[in-house]
Amino acid sequence: MKTFPVKCSLVTLQLWDTVGQERFRSVTEQYYRKADGILAMYDVTDPASFTAVQAWIGSIKEKMCSGVVLMILGNKLDLSSGEDSAVRAEEGHRLAQHHKALFYQCSAKTGLNLNESMSHMAEYVPL
């Protein structure tokens, strides 16, 4: 759980890692039925991960309620060498635009862009 100041309020985000494996799909769907915001995360060094997140987004959009904030988050930026990344930032941006989602890239290992991305999400979730 992490709390962020938004305008004149505090927003607490509670993050759940629901595992992106197919065998957990039915359990995962229960979590995002009541969510105010959903992160779909992929590994910027793994094109298969990016392909998988696209399928998950389709499933998420079928089940999520209107007004839910969707963020696509490319992780492991610390292992990427920018333009030589297996999944380029432009691809993530295009996917996010297509789904009207927020987009960030980050590194869970180093913390790069984590607070910024979560703070941005906190600005958009319903108060």
Which tokens is 29 given?
A: 């769907």
pTM: 0.87
* Alpha helices, DSSP H, located in the chain: 25-32, 47-63, 89-98, 114-124
pLDDT by residue (tens digit) across 82-114? 666 799 999 999 999 999 999 999 999 999 999
The predicted-structure confidence for 61-80, as pLDDT tens digits, reads as follows 888 888 899 999 999 999 98
Give the pLDDT confidence score for residue 84 in this predicted structure. 64
What domains, with CATH codes, occur in the chain? 2-124 (3.40.50.300)
Torsion, Cα 15 76 105 59, to 10 degrees, reads -60
